[in-house]
Structure 1
Amino acid sequence: MKVANTMVILTILLGLSTNASAVLLVGGNTLNGNFNSQISESTVDAQPFSNTVTWVNLSPSDNQNAQATRANLDYDGSRNVVMSGGDSRMFGLDTGHTISAGEVYDVGYVWRDASAWADASTEVQVTLFVTDDNTINGTRTDLVVDLSGLSTQNSTYEEVDHDGIYTATAADAGKTLFLVFRTTAASGGFGRLDNFALEASATVTASGPSPESAAEDVLVDANLFWTPGMSATTHNVYFGEVFEDVDGATVPTSAGQDANSFDPGGLAFGKTYFWRVDEVEGGAGNAVSKGTVWSLTAEPYAVMIPVDVNHVTASSSNATSTPSAIVNGAGLDGNIHSNNPDGMWLSASPDSTPWLMFEFHNIQKLDQMHIWNSNSSAEGAIGWGIKDVNIEYSINGADWTGLGQSSQISQAPGLPTYSNPQAVDLGLAVAKYVRINILNNWGGLLSQYGVAEVQFYGLPVYARTPDPVSGSVVLPSTVATWRAGREAQTHVISASTDPNALADGTAFSVSSMTNSVDLSTLDLQLDQSYYWRVDEVNEAEAQSVWQGPVWTLSTVPYLTIDNFDS
């Protein structure tokens, strides 16, 4: 895109495009991009928003009588926009354009200082956005905020020509595109802007990866999707574990495929992968457009299971170092624990039968326990850190099962750089409680024991992240989804207006083989509030049912029937 005077702007904008599908959305006389069109062709110098075709004031004041354009300080013999400090003038526009996935947007304009401006301390801010109801005053979701850069010339128009400020995603597709521009100046001074232009073009390269590039916590059985390039007839997919290998590869992992999706055949837990899609055009030559290298990281095998500070207890504690300190992250920075004793537990002295007990919010399938041992600066001399321990677990807090032989916990260095917690294998024990029975400490001098931090990791066996989110208002026919528990083979979905019905098992329920359900199968009625839950089931496991959290939703009070003529 190139900014030019109004006589040739359309020619240059369209002529310079290297993509035959480029569309000028705003520019010249198109949607009054040159700001010359008025509702009333008055010769008065200053004109308000109310008399400026297509543009509206989106400022909080909603003042459509605010000055919008003037005819002085012209750029090419035309009217121009008046910008000022603060948010009293925000130039909004409904482009009327329906977004397509993969579209690339370019923006251009000219602007200058006018008078009393804080030179070289302000810039123009252009925002592309969509709304929840496809009207310009709906609830906004910003797609991109593009800045002109600070003014470099005093009282002289300078050009802004920014290509590729945003590429539309599949989530954007079908929505109406809106824009708003303003100055970033907080107060004082005036500026001018003219010949605003916005262009959309379809990309010839693959775009809109799903999962999005650099995504984390990606399901290990995920498939990969993308938005095809404009002229692509087939796709070459490259997939691997090393960026350089994928970027430089010439032999595709999957060549000449028709579908814009790829099954990597299962990901390894916690591993990062790289992938690239080259788009192949049909016709003579089969031109290939090399794609960007995207990345993703697979979900971890186990996730951290939080312990409430009120649900960890100990055989004893000294006055200041209570057991809550070992689960609240005090003194912990990433994987490094400080040697400040305020962030650790220390038992009373003497303590003849020392122990620590942890209670989870619900039953868990535990993989590992990470222990940062007592790490005060005197640890090397005194040796409060626990040494040999027996670990037990329980579902009810009364009946306990031991892990087997005792474990030895390494002594901490007493340094502020302590970064190697000991991982204790919990063998996928199913438990709500874990107890550490302490047999001795590293010093052997005092009957006093300490621990700096304890973290637990377990399999994500429960249903989570519902869509719609808990608390949403939905149609009774909405299809709800959730992230399935790790071992689930089937899913039992229950719903009721009475939360007690979920608790006692009398709620209406249906089964699904997938992590989705059409809510109409639960017989939801209009204008009702519901509690719903997903239980994950695998009859082959000892713990065959994982009863999920209770979520809520409300149904709309009535249905709207399009084109209904009463």
Structure 2
Amino acid sequence: MYRRLAHSTVSVMILSLALADSVHAGLVAHWKFDDGAGTVAADSSGYGHNGALLLDPQWVAGKFGGALEFAGLSGQHVEMEGYDGILGTQNRTAMAWIKTAGYGDWISWGQNTNTQKWIGRVNDNAGNGAVGALRTECSGGYIISTTVLTDDEWHHVASVLESAGAPTISDIRMYVDGVRETISGSQAVGINTVGGRNLWIADGHHNRPLPSLMDDVRLYDHALTEAELLAAMEGSEGYPYAYRPDPKDGAVVEDTWASLSWSAGDFAVSHDVYLGDNLNDVEEATRDSVEFRGNQTATFYVAGFPGFAYPEGLVAGTTYYWRIDEVNDADPNSPWKGTIWSFSIPPKTAYNPNPADGAGIADTTVTLSWTPGFGAKLNTIYFGDDFDTVANATAGVPVGTTSYNPGPLGAEKVYYWRVDEFDGFGTYKGDVWTFTTPGAVGNPQPANGAADVAMATVLSWTPAATAASHQVYLGLDKDAVRSAGTASPDYKGSRTLGTETYDPGLLEADTAYYWRIDGIYNGTPVKGPVWTFMVGAHLLVDDFESYTDDDTAGQAIWQTWIDGFGTTDNGAQVGYLLPPYAEQTIVHSGSQSMPLLYVNQTGKTNSEAAMTLTAPRDWTTAGVSELSLWFRGASANAAEPLYVAVSNTAGSPAVAAHTNANSARVGGWTQWVIPLQTFADQGINLTNVDKIAVGLGARSGMTAPGGTGTMYFDDIRLQSR
């Protein structure tokens, strides 16, 4: 369906980081184009990859300082004599600011042979993907983004190759204006860039000169994180934080010791090392904490050996967390607190079951598989349709592989299985896992294993195909819920067909819950799998996940969040003109956020979107004391003041304005926390809130200069302090 016509805007996503100039670790070439005159473009990386200007591109004003203007003439480019770029299968990042209305290559190096070249270009081939979009290719393969670059405005483009080895085109991430792009077309091929040809800017192998202004072209010898990329996009040459952890974040280390290493931030003189087995403790640790392992100049640390952390060895089945704070006592911004990284030592027991524990499968045939326990030599599998039988079995089927086919299965059934591991020294009894076949009760909501679930949550499920009704069990102990009968306090009653929901009321914050749905067949219950979810300390106002593109059914985002369509005093547009109506790339969490386009012009001084609440309306329950929401703006936005308004069914709204008058221009997701007392002090009855609105403009009570832009909102919650 078509969305009603409205204005649109181009949003440039920029994170502003004020960092001093310094050569970035991993920055192997940097052409600022600030020279202003002459026939040489200097390389500011310190590696001396200066470029010769051929056919007289012009020095002009740029995005940052100067730039080069290319007329799109054949042979007009910048050539780096003796420098042939980043080669082989090495991870890399290539980026630049470009301003163009045409098509062609913005950078090129390597041999003109399949897999052996690297080209960044503005796509002109409608048969491959979006015309005018960013394209990266390596001869025989390509990947094309979606955003059109040919509007003759400045855009930042970046291609990031990240692979553990043997990279292919699919390992490339592309960004425009700091936002990761969706892909409009691709053709897979391997990447192994071969040298022997000078690197070119503004032209390439196939005589596709790009008519453009170009500024701040950079090459890095590693895959930048989004934070690094945003900092570089803003013009910074320095990144103060430790990066490139080894082992990689989330890695599994199959040993009882580990050598941790990292790349130093650009301003670091030394490094504070933190390591522990509790995430929160490592996050909050200081030099006075037991997790502090010392300050050192080396960029590696050993754990699991005598004389180091965990001298008796790292423990199987344990996840370890580590943090590197960069230190430079001469810099007032020091120390720079690092990101929390983690690695895990695998357990002695089998893990990672497939199907996942509690999952449903799509057929009545399945091959079970798992990851073997640390040091396992032999697997013994137990399988059946009764939990207690499988849990207590002592005679299983020995298998030398990590897979097992149980044979044909029945429909609408619940099955259980267990894998015991033997490592030559002992046997390690595995957990009992479960899965269901087609027709059985399934599709739990919240999803099995969900975290940070709102305290006010209604449970739902898909009914068993031939069951007459269902029984609900919910509790705090997994084993108790699994074994509970109708006399148990965990039994919550029976639900007839067509009412596959259960409202447990307000759940406890920061608590794990377990639940089970039994199908009733001829008066006899058949136990369902036990599912789990973790409750967070919040009440959900809107996470924007429930909206669809079915405006006929009233499920479009702009049918709940009412904007300024059809009004003369509200310049807001919620959602996009065509499906998908919600934003599905720029999100804080989940898969959707709310885009809000604002136009405070032509007599309109305010843009606002408002939602009438069904729940939660009582903003005093569960100890909540704050309203939290996440927003993201862009440097290209007009600096209209941001506000939130809440109201009762009668009386004037209460307004809270963001203290940063330029908040609409802040790139990157930003949390805004508003004490609920702010609204109560303006006369709002917090026990029965009727409406919430977000907006930009004069209603904030701040000076509103007028202008346009696009904002994104996500995860609106009530929370305790």
Bin for the TM-score computed over the shorter chain: 0.3 to 0.5
* TM-score (norm. length: structure 1): 0.37
Higher normalized strand content (fraction of residues): 1
Larger radius of gyration: 1
* TM-score (norm. length: structure 2): 0.30
